[in-house]
Structure 1
């Protein structure tokens, strides 16, 4: 299913809607690889373990703190840095020590991304090593110009406006000729305000049972141009 009408009425995406796009910007987690792969659940659990050990908290309390930081700061790491001066390298290395074989290779997605005209970027709140390993497992790593990760963003995560500005400036991306694909609606507000075409990636069949309730907030917002639960098919449609 790729119809964007499941969340709010919008026109069906066409090639003409994206004819002006020269730079294609993709989030990583639950965007380039699907949420049903459940890879992020490994990261999520390791974040809870890290918070529990670092703050000497029981697991249930650590999880509450983790999720509170995620919502208020954009990432759990940012909250830990702001309130507890955590070493970011220690956190990133620990939480990304996971099994990437949970992701199924997706040659069809790779073919579609490769065929897009212009440059392609990964823009993630994770680190470069995580992005490279996930994209390599998908079989799509070689199709990207570069990866803009949390370290390149000076550890300031999306949706902070300065992080988008830093990305655009570093890679000389003209927002008026760019499109961004994301699984969190709030992370598309700034791109839309800058003039980017925005595409929200949702779980298959638009299920809202995955993730925290707040992650689904804003899906009906005017900053969302299109919605899809099948990224490869969506790209195929706007190319043809």
Structure 2
């Protein structure tokens, strides 16, 4: 199945519904991205690299229009709340599927969950960079590569270091990306284990992990934050 057309117009929906809808569309369009364990992991990482530049990331101007009157920390809180709702919705779906007597295509289901959660967390990280005035330079693809690196390392980008915003993922970065996806997949396994299954478990694990990621990235970005009034108009 082809990747979904990723859109985010936000009309008629709350912020949390918007993030959850994005997660469902990505997961629904993931197709059978899993084969064997290694093959599935490679497929998910390549799909994420291909998908990232097409995930809608709101710039600072759009975010301030969507959340008028909020300071950076309050705006970041809103983004984290919405993203955790999105990843929790995906985790709940996997937990519910695991409760079936014979879980259908569970390997593919788990791979699709991993891709959807990674995509939502990628969007969160990209928009947090906008909030803290640390936007990656370059084209949409160059920014996507930079934010994938930030997701992989669970930290903010360093715009003063060209290697951190390179337009192409190096072999080392791809290995780190696969390792990050593997860790993310392993943390999802309890939702599929007998006697430890259910929608509540899947949602809770995803919510916890997304919040932890956001906390680490925000702590790093606060040390590099550029005040809004110091940003150029085009930012």
TM-score normalised by length of structure 2: 0.28
Structure with higher helix content: 2
